[in-house]
């Protein structure tokens, strides 16, 4: 099968959820013997290391550089357009012309568009079977962001929420198949009556993430892209509200916040010597090996938290909010420790630290390996196209 995949970012390094999903799905499709053409619309520069890493998995890569000066043009266009601002940002007519030529040259059997950001490029190719991967319900994440925003940005997020909510429904008309990571996000999108959403969960690289001996020190761990607002808020909550309660009982406990591009608010507000903000790590497994317990006190965001799958695969117990836990089916969700208030999070952490026992995650790892392989997830995708 000849497959054209559209992306809105260079899918390497794997520090963001959409990059992780794109990289592993593309790799699995290539390994399954399909001819995969990846059309990557991007603002960022293409680094040599990223290019080499992506070319190493195979496939045919087409790079479409987006113009930064056209961002202002998109902003002006948005004054009379009803399209979401971020769709306008990523859709540029010179890039559309280049994409049209690529598709004409490839003649693919399938177009697979990742996220609504790339949907405009392929929606009018009516003779080709098209699939839109929403990934998650973007409108749900934006709605939560409205309540967290300051007065200056609140108006923008309210406007973007209304645009995205409508667009998530309307764009479905143009695609034969619609996919999403988790059922809770599927419930947040109102589809046309003749459309159906298919759940294609994320996977985990079992060869990379596997159980290891956890540190004997009392290290509480949180990972993620630390320039992403839901992760910033969760890290601040953990460092400023939850850990002070833990330190009353375990004053020597450490908090490790690991991940790329730590926001300046983390550096400025989490100055306690017991908090280690690592920044980018070449091998994130080093952070998981330090941790004794993983904590994800998320109150914003949508979709499935890959960090939770990674932590569980590395043998760590996980304490998380119901927002993070709800992305998982009941079998795996029952293995998570769900907390709501800061006191509940602190109590769960202290209870585990006080036990001084290693976590036995064999059952959890069995569930993950049986349900969250990239190969299995990609087979579900291929079944749609067959």
0.85 exceeded by the pTM? yes
Q: Give 119's contacts (C-beta < 8 A, 6+ positions apart).
A: 87, 113, 132, 171, 174, 175
Give the pLDDT score at 359.
61
Residue 375 has pLDDT above 60, yes or no: yes
As a residue count, the chain comes to 386
pLDDT class of 288 with cuts at 50, 70, 90: very high
CATH of 219-371, one of 3.30.1330.10, 3.40.50.2000, 1.10.3720.10, 3.40.50.970: 3.40.50.2000
Distance (Å, whole) CA 314 – CA 312: 5
- Cβ count near 2 (within 10 Å): 13
Give the pLDDT score at 360.
61
pLDDT class of 330 with cuts at 50, 70, 90: confident
Domain boundaries, given as residue ranges, for the chain: 2-200, 219-371
Burial state string for 5-39 with b = 16 or more CB within 10 A and e = fewer than 16: bbbbbbbbbbbbbbbbbbbbbbbbbbeeebbbbbb
Q: Give 283's contacts (C-beta < 8 A, 6+ positions apart).
A: none
Higher-confidence residue of 327 and 111: namely 111
Give the pLDDT score at 234.
95
Beta-strand (E) ranges in 210-263? 219-223, 254-258
Higher-confidence residue of 56 and 354: namely 56
Residue 216 has pLDDT above 70, yes or no: no
3-state SS, residue 313:
helix
Cα distances from 202 to residues 25, 169, 180, 211, 233, in angstroms, run 9, 23, 9, 19, 23
Helices (DSSP H) in the chain: which residue ranges? 17-31, 48-55, 70-77, 85-90, 93-106, 119-122, 138-148, 151-170, 183-186, 229-237, 243-249, 264-269, 285-290, 306-313, 322-325, 330-333, 342-355, 362-371, 374-385
Burial tier of 159 (Cβ tally within 10 Å: 0-12, 13-18, 19+) = middle
Give the pLDDT score at 214.
55
The answer, yes or no, to whether the previous bond of 13 is cis (omega within 30 of 0) is yes
Give the pLDDT score at 64.
98
Read off the pLDDT of residues 62-80 as tens digits, 9 standing for 90 and up.
999 999 998 888 878 888 8
pLDDT class of 82 with cuts at 50, 70, 90: very high
Distance (Å, whole) CA 114 – CA 133: 5
pLDDT class of 271 with cuts at 50, 70, 90: very high
pLDDT class of 356 with cuts at 50, 70, 90: low
Residue 248 has pLDDT above 70, yes or no: yes
Fold match, 2-200 / 219-371: yes
Domain 2-200 has CATH 3.40.50.11720: yes
* C-beta of residue 381 within 8 angstroms of C-beta of residue 200: yes
Give the pLDDT score at 212.
67
Query: Angle at Cα 208 formed by Cα 203 and Cα 214, nearest 5°?
Result: 105
| Tokens representing residue 43 in the block | 């603002």
Q: How many helices (H) and strands (E) does the chain have?
A: 19, 13
Mean pLDDT in the chain?
91
pLDDT class of 21 with cuts at 50, 70, 90: very high
pLDDT class of 232 with cuts at 50, 70, 90: very high
Distance (Å, whole) CA 121 – CA 96: 6
Residue 18 has pLDDT above 90, yes or no: yes
Burial tier of 299 (Cβ tally within 10 Å: 0-12, 13-18, 19+) = middle
Read off the pLDDT of residues 110-151 as tens digits, 9 standing for 90 and up.
999 999 999 999 999 999 999 999 999 999 989 988 887 888
Distance (Å, whole) CA 75 – CA 85: 7
Q: Which of 139, 144, 203, 141 is nearest to 368 (CA)?
A: 203
pLDDT class of 338 with cuts at 50, 70, 90: very high
Give the pLDDT score at 357.
60
- The stretch 232-249 carries a mean pLDDT of 96
- The stretch 26-35 carries a mean pLDDT of 96
Residue 99 has pLDDT above 80, yes or no: yes
């Amino acid at each position: 099968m000849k497959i054209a995949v559209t992306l809105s970012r260079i899918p390497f390094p794997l520090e963001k959820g959409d990059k992780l999903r794109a990289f592993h799905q593309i790799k699995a499709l290539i390994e399954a013997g399909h001819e995969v053409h990846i059309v990557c619309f991007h603002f960022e520069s293409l680094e040599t290391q990223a290019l080499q890493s992506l070319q190493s998995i195979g496939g045919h890569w087409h790079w479409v550089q987006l113009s930064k000066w056209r961002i202002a043009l998109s902003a002006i266009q948005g004054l009379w357009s009803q399209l979401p601002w971020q769709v306008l940002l990523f859709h540029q007519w010179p890039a559309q012309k280049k994409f049209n030529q690529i598709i004409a040259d490839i003649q693919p059997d399938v177009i697979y568009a990742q996220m609504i950001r790339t949907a405009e490029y392929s929606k009018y190719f009516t003779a080709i079977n098209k699939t839109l991967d929403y990934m998650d319900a973007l409108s749900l994440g934006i709605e939560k962001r409205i309540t967290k925003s300051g007065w200056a940005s609140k108006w923008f997020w309210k406007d973007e929420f209304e645009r995205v909510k409508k667009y998530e429904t309307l764009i479905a008309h143009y695609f034969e198949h619609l996919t999403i990571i988790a059922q809770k996000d599927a419930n947040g999108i109102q589809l046309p009556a003749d459309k159906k959403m298919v759940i294609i969960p994320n996977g985990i690289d079992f060869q990379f993430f596997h159980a290891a001996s956890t540190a004997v020190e009392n290290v509480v761990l949180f990972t993620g892209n630390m320039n992403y607002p839901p992760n910033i808020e969760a890290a601040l909550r953990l460092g400023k509200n939850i850990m002070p309660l833990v330190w009353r009982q375990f004053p020597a406990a450490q908090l490790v916040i690991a991940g790329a591009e730590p926001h300046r608010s983390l550096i400025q507000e989490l100055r306690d010597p017991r908090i280690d903000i690592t920044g980018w790590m070449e091998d994130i497994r080093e952070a998981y090996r330090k941790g004794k317990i993983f904590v994800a006190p998320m109150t914003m965001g949508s979709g499935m938290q890959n960090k939770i799958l990674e932590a569980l695969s590395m043998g760590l117990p996980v304490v998380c909010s119901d927002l993070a836990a709800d992305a998982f089916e009941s079998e795996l969700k029952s293995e998570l420790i769900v907390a709501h208030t800061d006191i509940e999070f602190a109590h769960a952490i202290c209870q585990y630290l006080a036990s001084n026992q290693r976590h036995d995650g064999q059952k959890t790892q069995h569930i993950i390996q049986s349900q969250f392989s990239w190969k299995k997830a990609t087979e579900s995708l291929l079944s749609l196209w067959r």
